[in-house]
Structure 1
Amino acid sequence: MSVARLAKGARGRVQVRSRQALAHARAKSDRTVNCPPAEGIGLGNMLYFLLWAHAGRRAGLNWRVRSTSGIRRWCEVFPRLEGLLVEPEDVAFLDHRVQDWSQDFHKFPPVALPSFVTERLLPSQPLRARMEGGAASDLTINVRRGDYYSVPEYRARYGFDIPSYVRDAVQEVRAESAITRIRVVTDDPGWCRENLCFLEEVAPVSSWGTPGDALADLAALASSRRLVLANSSFSYWGAFLSNGWHGDNHALVWTPNFHERGIYGGLPYHVDPRWHAVEVRDEGGPHHA
Structure 2
Amino acid sequence: MERWMPLFGDPARELVVDREDVRLTDRRERGLHNEFGPHFDESTLGRFIEGFLEPSGLLDADRVPAGLRLGNDGVVVNVRRGDYVTNESNWRNYGFDVHDYLRVALDRSVAVGGPIRRILVVSDGIEWCKAELGWLSRRCEVLDFEDTGRPPEVHLAVLSHASRLVLTNSTFSYWGGYLSAWRSGRPEQVVAPWFHIRTDLGGAAWQLDPRWSVVEDIPTQWRLPDPQ
Give the TM-score category using the shorter length: 0.7 to 0.9
Task: Specify the SS of the correspondent of 1:112.
Answer: helix
Q: Which residue of 2 aligns with 1:19?
A: none
Aligned-pair distance for 1:260? 0.3
Aligned-pair distance for 1:192? 1.3
**Match 1:116 to one of 48, 64, 76:** 48
Equivalent pairs counted in the alignment come to 215
Q: Which residue of 2 aligns with 1:73?
A: 3
Aligned-pair distance for 1:189? 1.8
Query: Alpha-carbon deviations, 1:29-67, whole Å to 9, x = none?
Result: xxxxxxxxxxxxxxxxxxxxxxxxxxxxxxxxxxxxxxx
**Contact 1:127/1:219 (8 A) holds in 2:** yes
Over aligned residue pairs, what C-alpha RMSD do you find?
A: 2.3
Query: Alpha-carbon deviations, 1:110-164, whole Å to 9, x = none?
Result: 3222211221112222431413543111100001112212222211111100011
**Match 1:100 to one of 21, 31, 34:** 31
What TM-score does the superposition give when structure 1 sets the normalisation length? 0.67
Q: Which residue of 1 aligns with 2:63?
A: 130
Q: Does 1:194 align with 2:111?
A: no
What CA distance in whole angstroms lies between the structure 2 residues aligned with 1:157 and 1:94?
33
> Per chain length, whose mean CA-contact separation is higher, i.e. which structure has more relative contact order (CA < 8 Å, sep 6+)?
2
Amino acid at match of 1:137: D
Name the CA shift for 1:149/1:252 in 2 (closer, same or farther; >3 Å): same
Matched-pair identity in %: 34
What CA distance in whole angstroms lies between the structure 2 residues aligned with 1:277 and 1:222?
18
Unpaired runs of 5+ residues, structure 2, are: 224-228
Q: Which residue of 1 aligns with 2:220?
A: 286
What TM-score does the superposition give when structure 2 sets the normalisation length? 0.84
Name the CA shift for 1:183/1:113 in 2 (closer, same or farther; >3 Å): same
What CA distance in whole angstroms lies between the structure 2 residues aligned with 1:81 and 1:95?
22
Q: Does 1:217 align with 2:148?
A: no
What CA distance in whole angstroms lies between the structure 2 residues aligned with 1:109 and 1:75?
22
Unpaired runs of 5+ residues, structure 1, are: 1-69
**Contact 1:142/1:184 (8 A) holds in 2:** yes
What CA distance in whole angstroms lies between the structure 1 residues aligned with 2:217 and 2:196?
10
Question: Whose Rg is larger?
Answer: 1
Q: Which residue of 1 aligns with 2:107?
A: 171
Name the CA shift for 1:220/1:96 in 2 (closer, same or farther; >3 Å): same
